[in-house]
């Protein structure tokens, strides 16, 4: 079975997809012993299913799409946090947003939905960082 994942999907989501497929192969009799490869493509698809049950492949495909959709905000939060504060971003972002560290960790893990107002706050922080960097670049050009 060949699973193509669209180029825009983050590596974190691909790791989650790999775990999903591994579990399906282990637990679902219709996939028992199936081999698969995951590669990048223009779009997400499952090809070369051979003798596998097409209905089960369709269910797997839908589960893969759910992972991609659900991971997008988590990945966006991590990317924003790292852009603002580096690899140890959660505490600094929590402080800047006026929330507890635990709440940010819950958002990052997908345990709680990130409220829409938080995205507005993050956008403001990114705009301020962009303005600060632009000013520094202007100073360096003098």
Note down the domain range covering 27: 2-141
Structure confidence by residue, pLDDT tens digits, 1-28: 999 999 888 888 899 999 999 999 888 8
pTM over 0.85, yes/no: no
Instruction: Specify the pLDDT at position 54.
Output: 86
Cα angle 90, 109, 57; round to 5: 145
Q: What's the domain count of the chain?
A: 1
- Please write the tens of the pLDDT for every residue from 59-86: 999 999 999 888 878 888 999 999 999 9
């Amino acid at each position: 079975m060949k699973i193509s994942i669209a180029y825009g999907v983050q590596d974190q989501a691909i790791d989650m997809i790999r775990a999903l497929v591994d579990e399906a192969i282990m637990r679902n009799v219709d996939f028992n012993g199936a081999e698969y490869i995951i590669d990048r493509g223009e779009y997400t698809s499952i090809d070369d299913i051979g003798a596998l049950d097409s209905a089960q492949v369709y269910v797997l495909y839908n589960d893969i799409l759910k992972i991609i959709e659900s991971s997008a905000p988590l990945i966006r939060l991590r990317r924003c946090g790292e852009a603002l504060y580096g690899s140890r971003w959660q505490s600094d972002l929590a402080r800047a947003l006026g929330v507890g560290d635990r709440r940010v960790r819950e958002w990052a893990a997908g345990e709680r939905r990130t409220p829409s107002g938080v995205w507005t706050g993050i956008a403001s922080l990114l705009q301020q960082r962009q303005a600060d960097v632009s000013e520094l670049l202007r100073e360096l050009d003098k």
